[in-house]
Amino acid sequence: MADFIFFHSYLILLFPLFSFAIIGLGHINSDNKFVAKFAITMSSLSLGYALLTVLAYLSQPKHTVLAYDAAWLNFAPGLTANLGMYLDPISVMMLVVVTVISLLVNIYSVGYMKGDRSFNRFFALLALFTFSMLGLVTSGNIFQMFVFWELVGVSSYSLIGFWYEKPSAVAASKKAFIITRFADAFFLLGILLVSFYSQTFSFQELNSPSTALLLKDAGVLTLGTLLIFCGGWGKSAMFPLHIWLPDAMEGPTPVSSIIHSATMVVAGVYLTARMFPLFAAAETTLFVIQCVGAFTALFAAVIAITQMDIKRILAFSTLSQLGYMIFSLGAAKICTESGHHGADVNPLGYSAAMYHVFTHAFFKCMLFLGAGAVIHAVHSNDILKMGGLKQLMPKTYWSLLAACLAIAGVFPLSGFWSKDAILLAALQSGHTVTFLVGLITGGLTAFYMFRFFFLIFHGEARSHLHHVHEDPWMTWPIVALTVPTIFAGLLEHSFVAQVLPPHLGEAGHFAHPAWLPWLATLAALTGIGTAWLLYGEGKTEKATALQKAFGPIHTVVQNKFYIDELYLFITHKIIFNCVAAPIKWFDRNVVDGTMNLCGWLLQVGGKGVRLVQNGQLHLYLGATVLGLIALLVMGR
């Protein structure tokens, strides 16, 4: 039975693809009710078969299952890109996460997109996005992953710019597309380099010790792995390629939810985890991964504490949490000064990162869906125009309270367990600075999330609230997500014990200091307490006074350190004016001018030929006589 389920696991991808084809191509003008029911049905079937596949996988003793592996593209006699379904602990976990989030977002969108004239187009693009992400996480080789990687980019571009009448949405979609394509160019170079020397695209072969040794002997291991990581660097919006992610909030809130929780931005983390055994052989690569992740986590958290737009706060929160996941993978490399001998890698760094991907998906999805419900009620994104919503939106209030406690790392919610595992991995591996960055970031996270929470729900309303209510279509998914948000911590042992990188041994043989959970909890409670002192009553007077005290520093942070402006200066003033403009002049005046001159000369020559070839016999005879005379003169 298990083999039958594995063989037909392609149905998990087929259902959303069928939904895209029927809604987007066949029934784009169909009744909205039909479209909503059809999209939810296809999403439910995809989730149902994903759960069957997971149960079948868990019943098997095999660590990895290649459901099928058919030849697809033959690049050379010894290099073929296959097409298949790759099932292992992290791909199975992502199947559950993506299909669950997709179903809940589809249900939520029925209420959120009600009345939108592009209702059907939205559900078609959402199905394409889900298909692309499911294909990415089940790819059996890096070339197949790259194809779905680009499909994720195209579909996210379409969803971010969904409301294309808004110039800001168009600009945001172009920014996301250009920056991620820039990073993907390096990713493709890395694939070409690594596959050329290893003569394989297969993850199983690329992650084998023999491939790492082969690439090391060829002197391309570090370069190849860094180029591949660049793809994840851009897709997961690590600094300094982070500027597209906050602007992606221009899309509908369900889009923000699915992009930020379990799909597009997590693809970079998933790529790093998928290639982790190969990356682990390149010490420099893991060091870069650790530094980039740790800096992004702290950098984004600092910016988040100053933002006023409800969705931008969550966007920078996502950046910070992605930094957590990335630095956990990098911190898996044991520091030579840590005192641990006999092992190069601490598997807990890998397990903890994947565990945080799992827990973060649910509470971050809930936060975005809750933010969308609030925006839908208040008709504003500004948290200073909210307040007083606790009594009017009680289900949303209690659900978001659970989500804020989880992301802050408060016991016993899911975020506490995954964040504790990440901090423990950094500490065990001897990366003290990274551990401290993670600890400080945890305190900042608790502060800005409860600042977000108190200003939305507590105190008196700071604007007129008319007909505020909780839409059942939107409220039910939010409430449903509280279940994994609260209880996903029960799966900690399963992740630590079973979600392990291949070829790198098992977790264990590391100390677990009893004081660490208490210290992490103290950091979270400090952040929550500070937020309560400043914003607990839903007022902003104390915070405003504090902002004035910091003055220019607060302004710089609130403007995201002016990095967007720096990018615009570099692109418009330097690249466009100093590089593109001279090239444009050279192309139009020299290259085009040369071609135009050749065309003009040919045209003049043609006119001369037409004057001579006019059909008049006396002209031909005269020309013949003159030609003979010229030949006689020249002959002398």
Q: What is the mean pLDDT of residues 140-152?
A: 91
Say if residue 502 is in the same domain as residue 623: no
Residue 449 lies in a domain: yes
Say if residue 595 is in the same domain as residue 489: no
Residue 47 DSSP label: H
Mean pLDDT is lowest, of 417-431, 477-491, 551-565, for 551-565
Listed in sequence order, the residues at least 6 apart from 119 whose beta carbon sits closer than 8 Å to its beta carbon are: 32, 35, 113
pLDDT > 70 fraction of the chain, expressed in percent and rounded: 95
Say if residue 395 is in the same domain as residue 443: yes
Residue 66 pairs with which residues in a beta bridge?
86
Residue 358 lies in a domain: no
Comparison of pLDDT for 51 and 493, the residue scoring more? 51
**What are 158's two structure tokens?**
């379409």
Say if residue 500 is in the same domain as residue 530: yes
Torsion angle of the four alpha carbons 476, 477, 478, 482, in this order, in degrees rounded to the nearest 10: 100
> 3-class DSSP state for residue 67?
strand
Q: What is the mean pLDDT of residues 61-71?
A: 76
- 23-27 long-range contacts, CB within 8 A, separation 24+: 23/120, 23/123, 23/124, 23/127, 24/120, 24/121, 24/124, 24/125, 24/127, 24/128, 27/120
Q: Residue 465: its pLDDT value, please?
A: 66
Mean pLDDT is lowest, of 31-35, 146-150, 238-242, for 31-35
Say if residue 443 is in the same domain as residue 579: no
Backbone angles phi, psi at 155, to 5 degrees: -70, -35
Q: Residue 82: its pLDDT value, please?
A: 85
Q: 47 falls in which pLDDT band (50, 70, 90)? A: very high
Mean pLDDT of all residues in the chain? 85
Domain boundary among 558, 585, 613: 558
Instruction: Answer whether 228's CB lies under 8 Å from 203's CB.
Output: no
Residue 526 lies in a domain: yes
Residue 94 lies in a domain: no
Say if residue 611 is in the same domain as residue 508: no
Q: Please provide the DSSP assignment of 177-230 as one string.
A: HHHHHHHHHHHHHHHHHHHHHH---BHHHHTSHHHHHHHHHHT-HHHHHHHHHH
Listed in sequence order, the residues at least 6 apart from 96 whose beta carbon sits closer than 8 Å to its beta carbon are: 50, 51, 54
The residue segments making up the domain with residue 289 are: 282-349+369-558
Say if residue 466 is in the same domain as residue 513: yes
Say if residue 417 is in the same domain as residue 455: yes
Q: Rounded CA gap, 466 and 184, in Å?
A: 46
- The closest of 269, 287, 285 to 355, measured between CA atoms, is 269
Say if residue 505 is in the same domain as residue 593: no
Instruction: Answer whether 245's CB lies under 8 Å from 318's CB.
Output: yes
Domain boundary among 526, 558, 590: 558
Mean pLDDT is lowest, of 127-131, 184-188, 471-475, for 471-475
Residue 141 pairs with which residues in a beta bridge?
202
Residue 380 lies in a domain: yes
Say if residue 339 is in the same domain as residue 481: yes
Q: Residue 300: its pLDDT value, please?
A: 92
Q: Residue 528: its pLDDT value, please?
A: 92
Residue 335 DSSP label: P
Residue 38 lies in a domain: no
Q: 466 falls in which pLDDT band (50, 70, 90)? A: low
Q: Residue 444: its pLDDT value, please?
A: 93
- The closest of 458, 287, 445 to 367, measured between CA atoms, is 445
Instruction: Answer whether 149's CB lies under 8 Å from 231's CB.
Output: yes
Q: Residue 30: its pLDDT value, please?
A: 65
Residue 393 lies in a domain: yes
Say if residue 547 is in the same domain as residue 577: no
Instruction: Answer whether 329's CB lies under 8 Å from 285's CB.
Output: no
Q: Is the pLDDT of residue 328 over 50?
A: yes
Q: 544 falls in which pLDDT band (50, 70, 90)? A: confident
Instruction: Answer whether 159's CB lies under 8 Å from 171's CB.
Output: no
* Helical residues (DSSP H) of 379-430, grouped into ranges: 394-408, 414-428
Domain boundary among 533, 558, 583: 558
Number of domains in the chain: 2
Q: Rounded CA gap, 172 and 225, in Å?
A: 29
> 3-class DSSP state for residue 614?
coil
pLDDT > 90 fraction of the chain, expressed in percent and rounded: 26
Residue 6 lies in a domain: no
Backbone angles phi, psi at 252, to 5 degrees: -55, 150
Q: Rounded CA gap, 591 and 314, in Å?
A: 50
| pLDDT 10s digits, 94-110 | 999 999 999 999 998 88
| pLDDT 10s digits, 340-374 | 554 578 888 888 899 999 998 888 889 988 888 88
Say if residue 600 is in the same domain as residue 621: yes
Mean pLDDT is lowest, of 305-314, 563-572, 594-603, for 563-572
Q: Is the pLDDT of residue 570 over 70?
A: yes
Q: Residue 525: its pLDDT value, please?
A: 93
Q: Rounded CA gap, 231 and 466, in Å?
A: 46
Angle at 358 between CA 494 and CA 289, to 5 degrees: 100
Q: Residue 507: its pLDDT value, please?
A: 47
Q: Rounded CA gap, 508 and 38, in Å?
A: 48
Q: Residue 266: its pLDDT value, please?
A: 87
Q: Is the pLDDT of residue 29 over 70?
A: no
Q: Is the pLDDT of residue 509 over 70?
A: no
Comparison of pLDDT for 568 and 486, the residue scoring more? 486
- Residues counted in the chain: 636
Residue 141 DSSP label: B
Q: Rounded CA gap, 58 and 498, in Å?
A: 11
Torsion angle of the four alpha carbons 474, 479, 482, 483, in this order, in degrees rounded to the nearest 10: -120
Helix 266-274 to helix 310-330 angle (10° resolution) is 10
